[in-house]
Structure 1
Amino acid sequence: MSAKILALDTSTENCSVALMINDQLYTRSEIAPRDHTKKILPMVDEVLKEAGVSLHDLDALAFGRGPGSFTGVRIGIGIAQGLAFGAELPMIGISTLAAMAQATYRQHQSEKVVAAIDARMSEIYWGQYQRQTDGQWSAIAIDDGQAECVIPPSELVAHLVKAQGDWTQAGTGWQAYQEPLADLPLSQVQGDVLYPEAQDIAVLAQFEWRKGNSVEAEQASPTYLRDKVTWKKLPGRE
């Protein structure tokens, strides 16, 4: 029997919530780039009411830990922590890139996925995943050892390790940087998953729950990948 897990994600333009109970999913999802703070809690209330449970009935709270929008990731983890504190629930952070790999499998049964989120500033958040026989995903590192990274698309070509088979694209990065990403040493298949979804985060969180990989709410942390951002100051404000 699966754990009772509430999952939420606001790391991209998409805002989503999912509740998994006894392998049944209750979901809400909406593209709402500027309304995450208005949409997310009503979505939580809706799935809890639909399932007929309260937060106190759950085992854990999962969240999209990033990468993604700085603001979106912060909103998601902040709301998740607030809910977890109130109900004394442990938390499970899930990679948004891995969640898109899971979504691609859910929709198209693709077992090899290359995920790229447009990170702005002429960069992408990158992850390459292969599905294992037990349903978990193995991240394939680029040649400098990073499994997930932020990188200019033109530089990724030089670092990517060639892999066999057809790899399905996921994420907004493919549309934003079509030319440089077309040169990757991979056989690519066009996909239609653009954003992470909470229902896929809930599925991946089950694996982490069974392995004991949850933390107390105060220990939950985001994954930004881009740790330093240089801001150009306005004249007179140096």
Structure 2
Amino acid sequence: MNLLAIETSTECCSVALACGDEVVVRSEVAPRRHAELLLPMCDAVLAEAGLSRRQLDAIAVGRGPGAFTGVRLAISAAQGIALALDLPVVPVSSLAALAQDAPAESRYILAVIDARMGEIYSGVFRRNDGLPLEALGPEVVGTAERLVLPMQTSWTVVGTGWASYAPMLRPRLGCEPLFADGARYPQAAAVARLALRELASGQGVPAEQALPVYLRDKVALTTAERQQAW
């Protein structure tokens, strides 16, 4: 199985090629440069693996939530490549990809991405030995102060939402997290790992059915809202 994965929902632009037991990766934190970097990264991982695009079997893509332009770019690129090559697409939650890269010993994981405008995108997950990552509720967007967790337990927290809103999130956790890293981003390699599981159970979709997930339809605060925030 040769699978190309794309993830650009945050400041990090990343591409991964899973071919057999090997995963070739390109990843760079480069705000506002994703459109410039994405296709050259795709070409680079294919060249390193010695494959052409026509040897691909599927495309995986981080479907969001995340930055509107980044999510749209990833979906558009995945659809374009898949349509040209008549390949299935596997849309993967960007929050699940973020949680996938939490330390191996983590059992309960809170993935949080800074959504700007004083809000976070959040998803809660459980890792069971030998089983796929399990979502413990719907992914949501809202203020850190209003985050509601499904249970009182010891959490691992990953994502830029922690870097921006740790003081507000700590009371919601109930206790200090076992592990917390606010410098982690969803990565294409994690998208690829999750997508391979989905493909194994027949979950690929036609390119036109690979849709973004935004969770909200507002890109920026109005002038009045910005003034009120001050």
**Matching residue of 2:38:** 40
Please report how far the alpha carbon of residue 179 of structure 1 lies from its aligned counterpart in structure 2 after TM superposition: 1.7
Q: Give the 5 Å matches for 1:109-120.
A: 109-120=105-116
- 1:230–1:37: structure 2 CA closer, same or farther, 3 Å change rule? closer
Please report how far the alpha carbon of residue 189 of structure 1 lies from its aligned counterpart in structure 2 after TM superposition: 2.4
Matched, 1:133 2:129: yes
Matched, 1:88 2:86: yes
**Matching residue of 1:190:** 179
Matched, 1:212 2:202: yes
Match of 1:161 among 146, 150, 159: 150
Unmatched 5+ stretches in structure 1 = 142-146
Q: TM-score, with normalisation over the residues of structure 1?
A: 0.88
Deviations 1:140-169, CA, capped at 9 Å, x for gaps = 12xxxxx2110111111xx322233x3111
Q: Is the 8 A contact 2:68 2:219 kept in 1?
A: no
* 2-structure distance, mates of 1:103, 1:230: 29
Please report how far the alpha carbon of residue 76 of structure 1 lies from its aligned counterpart in structure 2 after TM superposition: 0.8
Letter in 2 for 1:80: A
Matched, 1:199 2:193: no
Please report how far the alpha carbon of residue 229 of structure 1 lies from its aligned counterpart in structure 2 after TM superposition: 5.4
Matched, 1:4 2:2: yes
Please report how far the alpha carbon of residue 122 of structure 1 lies from its aligned counterpart in structure 2 after TM superposition: 1.2
**Matching residue of 2:158:** 170
Range that drifts further, 178-187 or 8-17 = 178-187
Letter in 1 for 2:74: G
* 2-structure distance, mates of 1:63, 1:180: 31
* 2-structure distance, mates of 1:163, 1:131: 16
Q: Give the 5 Å matches for 1:92-103.
A: 92-103=90-101
Percent identity over the alignment is 46
Q: TM-score, with normalisation over the residues of structure 2?
A: 0.91
Letter in 1 for 2:166: Q
Deviations 1:193-237, CA, capped at 9 Å, x for gaps = 520000000000011101111111111100111135576379xxx
* 2-structure distance, mates of 1:23, 1:77: 26
**Matching residue of 1:224:** 214
* 1-structure distance, mates of 2:220, 2:111: 25
**Matching residue of 2:143:** 152
Give the number of equivalent residue pairs: 222
* 2-structure distance, mates of 1:230, 1:21: 40
* 1-structure distance, mates of 2:134, 2:204: 19
C-alpha root-mean-square deviation of aligned residues, in Å?
Answer: 1.7
Match of 2:16 among 1, 18, 22: 18
Unmatched 5+ stretches in structure 2 = 225-230
